[in-house]
Amino acid sequence: MKTQHISQTSRKPILTFAPEKTAPRGDILVVVFLRGAADVLNMVVPHGEDEYYNLRPALGIPRPDDSKTKVEERAIDLDGFFGFHPLFKPLLPAWQEGHLGIVHACGAPDDSHSHFKSQELMERGVENEQGPASGWIGRHLATLNTNNPSPMRAIALGELPQRSLYGSTPVSSLRSIEDFQLHGNETAVLQMQAALSSLYSGDDLLSGLGRETLGILDTLEKIKPIAPNPQSPNYPDSTFGHGLREIASIIKAEIGLEVAAIDLDGWDTHFAQGVQSGQMPRLMQNLADGLAAFHAEMIDHADKLTVVVMTEFGRRAYENASLGTDHGHGGMMMLVSGKLKSTGVFGEWPGLAPHQLYGPGDLAVTTDYRDILGEICMKRLNNPAVERIFPNYAVNMSGYFL
């Protein structure tokens, strides 16, 4: 039995709320965090704005009608103004089905350009260090009583729980279901389970933690890996792809999962960023292939599943001398759900002309990320306590979800 990669935050109360009365369970929420500040201008390309190409003569993604460029290297038009990077082509089915929405020029008010500070504040859902130490997802779980006794109510894919999950609700961290399933002779497995149950039968704190871990192991034993669907795209052979497949397995097992968090690292592209190949295109391929496979695998759950993709901030609007981009401000969020009101690139586009840029040359933020997450909490997760999830912030419902 391997248990070295499993952990829980159940003994870090940090901040405790009196939960709302028992409420029907809403969607399963999957949060994908792109750590390192993704260059969203080259992911969802404003090909209808000339200034984009003036700012990025080498890194700009060619227009959809650029006859001087190979078709497979051009942006894929979405609405006449915005287009996908060509490596985002796997996401077109979700877009065409009305299950994918983009919120451009979205982000946090913090303009420190610091990865650590921006991730910390965003995952806590606060504007400054004086706010509560718990995470916004942790507060969501603490304020919503779904009468769900599952030890797998919230999971973090990776070595440690994401900051957004910190709070009074137990969170399990795992890298692989296979690592935590007991294997071998059935009699020997039953004997080991009985021995561990006896060992942790006391009333002390260690015994309580032991029983919680045994409960998680027992729950994971019930999960069978999902059979690959020949009609679905293949998950990428990466930590991110394997993690999404694990989440799909847990959802299909119907063991009480409400929230899952997973990261995709490496987006700090200061030099040799790449256009069609290189560091960032590899990450975009990984992201697009993973999300497309997950969406196809979970299509029967689309009406009860919300996926949010976010990053701490975007990149500078203009390329630098090292053919990369520096830390910026405005970013982007991607929303995958069967309950979007419509497909589109949402939000107010601020423009990229010199007088429209923010600070030293950044895309401006016109939509606060908490408006999107707050609407998800209220409309899709059945949690009205947004004033406690995002303290000292008045959430503005954008109306993207049914």
pLDDT in tens, 47-98: 999 999 999 999 999 999 999 999 999 999 999 999 999 999 999 999 999 9
What percentage of residues in the chain have a pLDDT greater than 70?
80
User: How many Å apart are CA 296 and CA 299, to the nearest integer?
Assistant: 5
3-state SS assignment for residue 306: strand
Average pLDDT of the chain, as a whole number? 87
CATH number for 7-176+229-389 (one of 2.40.170, 1.10.3470, 3.40.720, 3.40.50): it is 3.40.720
Residues 374, 74 contacting (CB under 8 angstroms): no
Residue-wise pLDDT for 139-148, tens only, equals 999 999 999 8
* Beta-strand pair 259-265/154-157: parallel
Mean pLDDT of 288-315: 97
pLDDT of residue 3: 29
CB 171 within 8 A of CB 154: yes
DSSP reduced 3-state for 327: strand
Pairing relation of β-strands 83-84 and 76-77? antiparallel
Query: What pLDDT does 6 receive?
Result: 39
pLDDT at 197 over 90: no
High-pLDDT (> 90) share of the chain, %: 71
| pLDDT 10s digits, 108-143 | 999 999 999 999 999 999 999 888 999 999 999 999
> Is residue 203 pLDDT above 70, yes or no?
no
Banded pLDDT at 177 (limits 50, 70, 90)? low
Confidence of residue 8 (pLDDT cuts 50, 70, 90): very low
**φ, ψ of residue 87 in degrees (nearest 5):** -75, -10
> Of the given ranges (92-101, 147-156, 193-202), which has the lowest mean pLDDT?
193-202
In a 13 Å sphere around the CA of 94, the CA atoms on its Cβ side amount to 35
Q: 47-56, 219-228, 317-326, 390-399 — which is least confidently predicted? A: 219-228
Region 201-208: mean pLDDT is 54
Amino acid 176: pLDDT:
66
pLDDT above 90: residue 379: yes
Alpha helical stretches, state H, 79-225: 92-96, 115-124, 136-143, 186-199, 205-221
Rounded mean pLDDT, 95-103:
97
Segment 247-253 shows an average pLDDT of 91
pLDDT exceeds cutoff 50 at 209: no
Q: Helix 186-199 vs helix 205-221: angle between axes, to the nearest 10 degrees?
A: 160
Cβ-based neighbour number of residue 334 at 10 Å:
24
Residues whose CB falls within 8 Å of the CB of residue 168, separated by 6 or more in sequence, listed in order: 10, 12, 13, 14, 15, 16, 17, 134, 138, 142
Q: Confidence band (pLDDT; 50, 70, 90) for 1?
A: very low
- Which residues lie closer than 8 Å to 44 by C-beta, 6 or more apart? 78, 82, 83, 84, 85, 88, 102, 104, 332, 345
Residue ranges of alpha helices (H) inside 236-278 are 239-253
pLDDT at position 10 over 50:
no
